[in-house]
Structure 1
């Protein structure tokens, strides 16, 4: 079976990882892909590689199009191992190949794999003529590693965008128009929230840099290739990068004996009665990355936990540490929960919320043991009032 030709003399030689379900804490329920693109021109060029366990499959895909030792250039847009894992094997299998990479990428590759490559360091705006085509390299530093760059082929009007515009989404179809649109844009949003959120303020400048390019195709390193919905994903990135919010409230909680769960349900009822969209997640049953995807465009966040050994339950600690890493800016937040003979969960949650850069950590709601009817009603009122604060923004 011959690799898919995505444009004239350009082949998709990457792989689908149908089985992966965890990407350093990011739960990939729909799997992932490691995209690699082979350009057949006067100088045969490979754009990006794959995760190390899939190296043999990459080599087999390339060999169906051209002998491995015919490759002249290998462009490494990003050296994180899911992109670069096949580099050491390629260095041996493609003896004449030069590896085009940023200076930061070179340093990281040598540290990770050893000094075994024929590197050509490229700067922002540098070009490489490969025959009919001239490739232009655009620095995308901190989107999402310091070494990151994108590669543009003016001849084909294709942007090989690296992590930008990607999705962890394994599918037998390779183009955006061929897959379920709700799934696609959800996975694109989830990817942005869990990978690019800490660097969202850099998106605007990156889009300006790309704005002068005539782009007919975006070929990312993960997920499907954009052809029909390029304007839509560019608009989404513009909105996501500027912190656009939808006014919704995310409630995430864990409960020991059901008291905190009762409060979560009561608070959610109150907030919904104020006319906003509320989404409720019980931790342990919900991956942190799913909460992050929903919180990313929400306006408010409520974290709930019973007290265990003077602190929060472990599942809530995991979530709040995860959100701290993402730097969840621009939202109101608060903590709630129940305790027995001593508290502590609310204080610890509030400290982590503050460290996560939430705009405001509001006064929370807490009660002892199982909430009684009066406390349930007070929790509903608390949710209603918190929702009104979100609506007032």
Structure 2
């Protein structure tokens, strides 16, 4: 697949993987992207996952069409992109590996027996590499989402090789909308590092970018403003849309009943985008992504061992460690003798910024009663304002 006249796609699709990074469900697989730039000198942009060494090397050879690569440019050392560096060096011993100081340090850890003597080009932030008519400029992007990450700008074809930036879940041979799986990918994997992403976006704003080549997901060629706007919203932790996520855990169905009743009331009142998640059964990463997507969140759980139910604790931890902020939160708690769930949940957000707590909350003692229905009605009314 040609990206431009001189840039050829050499990546692979992975339909073997069920959990990306051991935790994110990927029903449509994953893409591990790599690119070949043909010029007076040739450059290969990153490698792929270890399970696809032979397929990737064949794709690179096909793109080179009999030529030898001059450079392997390593933007990110996470193994789904770097696992075949040593295989590449063995296949093309005359090629030079291009990376920064932190990348080479990590490379030594991953490949302790690999000898790069005389085959290293260590670059600094803002430095450029000329291939002929193509000039590649390296922009460091530390903690997006590893400390060694850099992106590469080709000023000739106006292409940004964005490392994991603008990536999404899903293989390239599956058709699906970009936003949902890109949001789930960003919030889950990069979400903690919004400040660093904002810094990178400011640099990107100074460049004339016509195409974005991520290490995951499709090459972005049209309506780039849409994708950049989404990244700006996600990385600044602003709500993307008005709406309410109701996330619950329930043992015997009573807390579930309260959560479902609230969701029904919200819909009756015309509240837009009401989404409900059973945190024990539904995709946790989707629940987390939607909590960041919408403006309001209701947490419903029971008191459990003087704390809260484990799936709710996990959910809140995932939110707070990704800098959840700028949202309104309501609480539904349940307990049979000493309910403390609301207090525990609220305490878990004590370091979160700009959280507005609803005035109306719900306190269920074992089972939903008439007074709880009135509390749920009041909470729905407040959330729909």
The TM-score, its normalising length taken from structure 2, stands at: 0.90
- The answer for the alignment partner of 2:55 in structure 1 is 57
Call closer, same or farther: CA 1:199–1:68 in 2, change over 3 Å.
farther
Other-structure match for 2:15: 18
> Per the alignment, do residues 109 and 188 of structure 1 end up closer, same or farther by CA in structure 2, a change over 3 Å counting?
same
**Alignment root-mean-square deviation, CA:** 2.3
Number of aligned residue pairs: give it: 378
Aligned ranges for residues 298-337 of structure 1 at < 5 Å?
298-337=294-333
Aligned to 2:88: 90
In the alignment, is residue 231 of structure 1 matched against residue 225 of structure 2? yes
| Equivalent residue number for residue 176 of structure 1 | none
Contact conserved, 1:269 with 1:380, CA < 8 A, in 2?
no
| Other-structure match for 2:122 | 121
1:195 corresponds, among 174, 182, 189, to 189
Consecutive unaligned residues in structure 2, runs of 5 or more: none
- State the 1:119 CA deviation: 3.0
Pairs within 5 Å for 1:1-393: 4-24=1-21, 25-66=23-64, 70-114=68-112, 116=114, 117=116, 118-172=119-173, 179-180=175-176, 183-245=177-239, 246-277=241-272, 278-355=274-351, 359-362=355-358, 364-388=361-385
CA 1:21–1:68 in 2, change beyond 3 Å: closer, same or farther? farther
User: 1:56, CA displacement in angstroms?
Assistant: 1.9
Deviation string, structure 1 residues 92-113 (Cα, Å, up to 9, x no partner): 2221222211222222222233
Q: Secondary structure at the match of 1:247?
A: strand
**Contact 2:358–2:379 (Cα < 8 Å) also in 1:** no
Q: By how many angstroms is 1:346 displaced? A: 3.2
Structure 1 unaligned residues grouped into runs of 5+? 174-178, 389-393
1:94 and 1:347 map into 2 onto residues whose CA distance is 61
Instruction: Kindly provide the CA deviation profile for residues 51-82 of structure 1, in whole angstroms up to 9, marking residues without a partner as x.
Output: 11112211121122338992221111111111
The offset of 1:200, in angstroms, is 2.0
Distance 1:301 1:354 in 2: 16
Go from structure 1 to structure 2 and tell me whether the alpha carbon gap of 1:321 and 1:239 turns closer, same or farther (over 3 Å shift): closer
What SS does the aligned partner of 1:70 have? coil
Decide which moves more: 345-354 or 219-228.
Answer: 345-354
User: 3-state DSSP class of the match of 2:277?
Assistant: strand
Residue 216 (structure 1) shift: 1.9
Cα distance in 2 for partners of 1:346, 1:19 equals: 41
Q: Which string of whole-angstrom CA distances, capped at 9 and with x for unpartnered residues, describes residues 308-337 of structure 1?
A: 333322222222222232121221224323
Distance 1:263 1:247 in 2: 22
Residues 333, 363 of structure 2: 8 Å contact kept: yes
Give secondary structure in 2 for the equivalent of 1:267: helix
Could you tell me how far apart the structure 1 residues matched to 2:199 and 2:308 are? Answer: 40
Q: CA distance change for structure 1 residues 382 and 211 in 2, over 3 Å: closer, same or farther?
A: closer
Structure 1 residues 190, 379: closer, same or farther in 2, change over 3 A? Answer: same
Name the SS of the counterpart of 2:225 in structure 1: helix
Distance of 2:320 and 2:202 partners within structure 1: 29
Q: Which TM-score applies when normalising by structure 1?
A: 0.88
Q: CA deviation at 1:358?
A: 6.3
